[in-house]
Structure 1
């Protein structure tokens, strides 16, 4: 049933219109002025069509129209204003008040009914759009909640300890949205070695986050012998730790893109002997590491020219080896921090290295947070446009009584040092 609220202070006109419209299948509710009409609309949320006279005591049709068409009114109404005047100024006043249509009282009944039918078609379209928007809002709210839950789960994958045997660590990982494509981690590989890594999947959103999760699982879930991290050998201890370039090569084979999967990622993976301070690392399309020397307080870039993981099947990666001194720190980061912008300027890798030096006297456990806050202050913005991840690893020194390794910098292949 199509409901109409008919508003007129002339009882004769009210009865005539009610009878005429009822015969044409409309359910009519009547009010003698605007104030009474507002009360009825409050009690009858099913009424969305108002046919109102202009001139009435208490509250006229123009004021009633203003009220129900205001932004804070509870629902949408189709409002037709009836008037004995058909001059241009009256029509303009009615439309400016928010009326959807303007009808002169002596208009033929068939024309009035035709306009009412057109009004109900408009109402039907409005209600359909509103329902679809509500469905979209509900779907978005569900997706947002799911993404927030996924983001919380991904955060739980991040390390909770900031110390492993022989090393002290600190990190910050901030997705640019609910979930991001950065992932970092570290783990005790065996009694003598720890491994740590940071990867940055291209793009943002669900697909990037799922890939970062998958890579993380590939590295850490099966870190026993025969995994990406370790290989089985026939003699004791029946395994060997894979070199960093071997880890990246296996990941490239595992996540090689195809026509359906065009995702790839950059990554830095390192293996540190906690007794000797010998560090092995390999980089796949990732920004250079920063090596902070404890004795001199100076920092340098350590990087390699290499391909990203998952894009090409012909790729080989390289491992580089260097000797840390007790207190030396290795910084790994994603380009979201160095490409943070202020106007046309970027924070830059050089800016990152300088910040590392300036923060060297602070405790390792707080340095990453201090560095990220420094970038926020520099760009004068809290939110980053890209995922931001920063990891610092300090070798605290070989255990007492252990002779240090006398191996200085050595490389399996050429390692590039960026000053």
Structure 2
């Protein structure tokens, strides 16, 4: 695509943005009683269909139901038997959406909501700060929640708690960190403000941990935006790529406090339960609840190209389908890159300013993930209508790479890269192998 054409498209997109962001409200869906036997080409009538009109943030095609892809000569066809209700494949650097399926369908997100929680709260708390857990801090943890093992009247560092959030998806750790942030209600409001700043307008936050609650929804598009924002932050990248770590056990009188090992629940990172580790995987977050089914957002690198894939609620009865379909879409994306016309883009935050010359700047607050930019003020956002839920050599010369060897993120050189030459993202900081 020529520079002139890109410039024209950018101007048109900017002119249309207010209309695109005022997206129609859509209804969240409860799949808990659905017969999960359909695939991408064959829908079971008992399974709710996506709305006929969805948000067009990122491009008009992304608001259409069904699969959106534009294959050029030599491009591979999409994988067969994809069953995710909603999925997206995007270039994390350029922001190009390579393919999508019901990208803006508002669905229960399960624990992928913790990506928004972390992107919002991580910059606000010093990782060295320590906190003694009060009984009230754990009172709101939902029944049947995933837990890391936080105990009342025990002291933990913020670093410990974030390990619990990212590795074990611990709702107990989320609630304690929320209390440190001013309480659950304040944290939910902060998360909603940050979602609006990111233009993740399909997202409606009810709980900070993704626990099933009526009205709590997001979309494959939004989860990908959120993951992309989180991955700008060094701590976020390190936590979501950590395979295993030690977590403090209970301090008993007169005895030395012991620690126990926790392992990441991201099967593409660890390899487990019939899932092979994905070469190049570097995070991000999985989730699973009764009403959301399985959800997953992953980031991976291959030959200098970094892709993001989100899959929500696959209907396949195959074990660990969400990881296997994600791996298939990542494989397709790496093979298809440069051979498909983008069907949309991952938009920048509202407070990111565009330089007409092709460069970019950011207002304070947009890059640090605090959600304090003023770009969201006065903007209307869609919400769920009658929601019923219980809930991978450089790319374009940038030389950014993420790599996994034996399931561990390793150190590679990198450089600053730009998103659509408008919104700058910092280096993807490399990490030494875990010991």
Range of TM-score over shorter length: under 0.3
Structure with more of its chain in strand, by fraction: 1
- The TM-score normalised by the length of structure 1 is 0.24
Structure with more of its chain in helix, by fraction: 1
The structure whose RCO (Cα within 8 Å, separation 6+) is larger is 2
Report the structure number with the largest CA radius of gyration.
1
